[in-house]
Amino acid sequence: MRIHNLYCDANGESHWRDVEVQWVEERNFSKLSARLPANGIIFRETSGDYDLSWHPAPRRQYIINLDGGVQITASDGQARVINAGEVVLVEDITGKGHLSKSVGGKMRRSIFVPVE
């Protein structure tokens, strides 16, 4: 399972990389990861005309897209479309940050899971 990771380098530029979930257990036709730290859960609805200028993430957090999509552009220029069912770990809490905008004019529902 792949998690998109948006991180910030020492110069304040944000970049994308992929993180593979490490499986630590298999049982009952399932694979499980280790338990990861988290601090609460935030539900979010984002309008279909969402188009936010440069901003850093407010905190380290996982974003789990439930439906709809979002295009996120790192400050190095690389853009990714995050679709329903995909997960992003945003860690660009300093520096220039990233751009975010809706895809296809559709409302998006997502869950934020802070990890600080």
Radius of gyration of the chain (CA): 15
Q: Is the pLDDT of residue 51 over 80?
A: yes
- Name the residue with tokens 């409302």: 107
Q: What is the pLDDT of residue 116?
A: 77
CA distance 20 to 1: 6
Q: Is the pLDDT of residue 67 over 80?
A: yes
CATH (residue range 2-114): 2.60.120.10
CA distance 13 to 28: 43
Give the CA-trace dihedral at 56, 5, 64, 33, to 10 degrees.
Answer: -140
Confidence of residue 112 (pLDDT cuts 50, 70, 90): very high
Contact 38, 115 (CB under 8 A): yes
- Name the residue with tokens 């005309």: 49
CA distance 106 to 86: 16
Mean pLDDT of the chain: 96
